[in-house]
């Protein structure tokens, strides 16, 4: 009957209860949506980073990562690439020659990363060809041609077929300069990436740096990311001179972003729930103070303080739990719908998101466990929020309470 | 009088309210003995200490000094929860303003006390129907308090007070808000229960209709007992209990 009383008490003041329930629904809806939005954004950033930039794993000379010196190439690069490409767990793999230097046009000079690629393999790994917005991809007639980002082209004030000069060091430290013609322009969702990376054919650049047929980097995608650790272990055993790392080690900032994201979301939810708890406390306190006389009678006829405390808590939980399914369902269906259709924020956030390497087309997603987690947090909030009103109730003196008009 | 020891004893019972600037002695060294099955009225003008005395006997209020023994137990020595439990199993309260739980029906209001006592469903159903019949409200059992008249509400309150099968019913001005006919009807019910079930009734009242039915009338003035009269025809009844 305590439950019955609690449930009936909620509906004594319909407007007030509906307002609190509305705020619970809104809180859960917004909470679920914001989590899904941020998860979708993070997931997209990870997918883009893996697909466009870092792949599932990369192999380098152990010292290459420190200062990207040309002399630190993979000693068994071609053999390693061949073996990796034959591995059935590997979806695609490519070798790269990487040189840092200066890129200059008639108008402007800036730092750049010149990536010598095997066009067909690169396309399998990063889909570079699909990212072209102008011009054409490399073919056998593309000698001394480059593909640069649209943003870099704007910066250098060059266009398709313009000539640019790449200046860099060879493997012995000599400064070299080479003229290249722009064959294509590409665009990804990462502004920094587009402004920095310049693609040339590996065969055009390896000769210049005196490392014919060698690679500084092997990048690969695998079919099942769950087997990433095993693949890396096998490669490390087979090629101990090379350092093979997964995407988490290559791009720790993304890994950190994902790992810290859970904590951000908990903080975010706590803020929502804290605001909610004040609303609940206020409502329940009003409900208690409106019923002082009735509570006095309950105490007089023999309701002990434990039961009274339980009744007020139950009332609070009923109030919140009645609204929770609506908030959760609203959040769930919103996330499901927008997860399918996506949210196009290009009109407002494109530039800002591009600076962080994030697409402006977001697909919100949220794992089921998060809904359950949110629901548990809401119940805990309701329980905590009920403590003060319940204590207020049990502290009442039955005599004074009964006399209360 | 019967030969059994009194069920309610007060010894120099005093209650002083010192919340204001001047302490007020609401009950002043009251020594009282009440036997089982009495139908007693505490009378006196407003502020004479009737309700305060009733509340202390019922364990709702604690004395400033002196002792209250109810059914052999010193209420002053009990902890809060023990007192609540004692009230639940031994004392039924009827208030002037009925004080029913507004969200529950007449039946649920009566049943609630038995739920607190953890009575079985079968026992609850049986007792609730029995009480509703006693107070003549079988046809109103599913009505909520706001759907009942004042008299009907007070009858439900009496049934609620009796639901726990208490040894004592303490009624604070139970007829104050009722018209003559309803008040008479209610007193008939309580009188019948007193006679048939031997429940001790103590009323705090200044309603002549209640005083006329009482077997014993204790008059309080300024917190002290001024007179304590046994009504002749009532004595016979008490003897018979």
Of B61, B81, B101, which has the smallest distance from its Cβ to A305's Cβ? B81
Give me the residue spans of the domains in chain B: 39-49+88-240
Is residue B241 predicted with pLDDT exceeding 50? no
The pLDDT of residue B52: 92
User: A34 CB contacts (<8 Å, ≥6 apart)?
Assistant: A268
Minimum distance, in Å, between the CA of residue A381 and any CA atom of chain B: 26
Is residue B4 predicted with pLDDT exceeding 80? no
CA distance B93 to A301: 7
Q: pLDDT per residue over B176-185, tens digit each?
A: 877 888 888 8
The pLDDT of residue A118: 94
Q: pLDDT per residue over B87-137, tens digit each?
A: 999 999 998 888 899 889 999 999 999 999 999 999 999 999 988 988 888
The pLDDT of residue B236: 46
Give me the residue spans of the domains in chain A: 2-50+254-403, 62-241
Question: B93 near B170, Cβ under 8 Å?
Answer: yes
Of B60, B80, B108, which has the smallest distance from its Cβ to A1's Cβ? B108
Q: pLDDT per residue over B44-63, tens digit each?
A: 998 899 999 999 999 999 99
Q: Tell me which residues of chain A have a pLDDT lower than 70.
A: 347-360, 404-405
Percent of chain B with pLDDT over 70: 95
User: How many helices and strands, by DSSP H and E, does chain B display?
Assistant: 8, 10
The pLDDT of residue B239: 42
> Does A15 touch chain B if contact means CB atoms closer than 8 Å?
no
The pLDDT of residue B237: 44
Identify the closest residue of chain B to A299 by CA–CA distance.
B84
CA distance A364 to A36: 5
Higher-scoring residue by pLDDT: B2, B160: B160
Q: How far, CA to CA in Å, does B180 sit from each of A103, B99, B177?
A: 107, 20, 10
CA distance A358 to A85: 30
Is residue B235 predicted with pLDDT exceeding 60? no
The pLDDT of residue A230: 94
The pLDDT of residue A354: 61
> Does B164 touch chain A if contact means CB atoms closer than 8 Å?
yes
- CATH, domain range B39-49+88-240: 3.40.50.300
């Amino acid at each position: 009957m305590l439950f019955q009383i609690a449930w009936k008490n909620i509906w004594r003041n319909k407007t007030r209860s509906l307002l609190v329930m509305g705020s619970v629904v809104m809180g859960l809806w917004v909470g679920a949506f914001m989590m899904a939005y941020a998860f979708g954004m993070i997931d997209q950033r990870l997918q883009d980073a893996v697909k466009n930039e870092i792949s599932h794993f990369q192999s380098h000379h152990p010292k290459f990562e420190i200062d990207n010196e040309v002399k630190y190439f993979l000693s068994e690069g071609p053999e390693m690439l061949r073996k990796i490409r034959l591995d059935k767990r590997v979806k695609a793999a490519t070798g790269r020659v990487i040189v840092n230097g200066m890129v200059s046009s008639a108008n402007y000079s800036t730092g750049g990363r010149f990536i010598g690629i095997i066009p067909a393999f690169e396309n399998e790994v990063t889909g570079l060809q699909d990212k072209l917005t102008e011009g054409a991809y490399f073919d056998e007639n593309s000698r001394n041609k480059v593909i640069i980002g649209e943003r870099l082209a704007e910066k250098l004030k060059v266009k398709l077929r313009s000539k640019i000069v790449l200046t860099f060091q060879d493997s012995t430290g000599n400064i070299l300069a080479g003229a290249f013609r722009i064959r294509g322009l590409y665009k990804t969702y990462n502004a920094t990436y587009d402004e920095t990376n310049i693609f040339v054919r590996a065969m055009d650049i390896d000769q210049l740096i005196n490392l014919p047929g060698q690679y500084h980097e092997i990048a690969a995608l695998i079919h099942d990311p769950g087997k990433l650790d095993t693949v890396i272990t096998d490669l490390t055993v087979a090629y101990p001179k090379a350092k093979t790392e997964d995407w988490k080690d290559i791009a720790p900032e993304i890994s950190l972003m994902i790992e810290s994201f859970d904590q951000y979301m908990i903080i975010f939810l706590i803020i929502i729930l804290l605001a909610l708890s004040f609303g609940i406390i206020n409502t329940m306190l009003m409900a208690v103070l409106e019923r002082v006389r009735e509570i006095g009678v309950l105490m007089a006829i023999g309701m002990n303080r434990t039961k009274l405390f339980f009744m007020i808590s139950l009332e609070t939980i009923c109030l919140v739990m009645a609204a929770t399914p609506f908030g959760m369902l609203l959040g769930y269906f919103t996330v499901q719908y927008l997860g399918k259709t996506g949210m196009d924020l290009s009109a407002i956030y494109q530039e800002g998101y591009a600076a962080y390497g994030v697409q402006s087309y977001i697909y919100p997603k949220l794992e089921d466990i998060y809904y359950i987690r949110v629901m548990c947090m809401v119940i805990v909030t309701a329980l905590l929020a009920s403590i003060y009103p319940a204590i207020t109730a049990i502290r009442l003196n039955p005599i004074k309470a009964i006399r209360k008009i | 009088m019967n030969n059994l020891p009194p069920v309610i004893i007060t010894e120099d019972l005093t209650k002083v309210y010192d919340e204001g600037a001047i302490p007020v002695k609401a009950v002043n060294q009251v020594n009282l003995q009440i036997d089982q099955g009495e139908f007693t009225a505490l009378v006196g003008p407003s502020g004479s200490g009737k309700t305060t005395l009733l509340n202390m006997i019922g364990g709702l209020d604690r004395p400033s000094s002196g002792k209250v023994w109810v059914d052999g137990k010193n209420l002053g020595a009990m902890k809060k929860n023990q007192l609540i439990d004692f009230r639940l199993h031994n004392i039924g309260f009827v208030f002037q303003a009925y004080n029913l739980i507004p969200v529950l029906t007449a039946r649920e209001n009566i049943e609630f006390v038995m739920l607190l006592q953890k009575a079985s469903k079968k026992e609850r159903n049986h007792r609730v129907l029995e009480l509703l019949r006693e107070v003549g409200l079988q046809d109103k059992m599913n009505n909520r308090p706001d759907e009942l008249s004042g008299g009907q509400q007070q009858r439900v309150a009496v049934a609620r007070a009796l639901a726990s099968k208490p040894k004592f019913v303490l009624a604070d001005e139970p007829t104050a808000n009722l018209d003559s006919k309803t008040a008479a009807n209610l007193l008939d019910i309580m009188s019948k229960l007193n006679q048939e079930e031997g429940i001790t009734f103590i009323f705090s009242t200044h309603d002549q209709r209640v005083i006329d039915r009482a077997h014993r009338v204790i008059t309080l003035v300024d917190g002290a007992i001024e007179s304590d009269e046994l009504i002749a025809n009532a004595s016979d009844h008490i003897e018979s209990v």
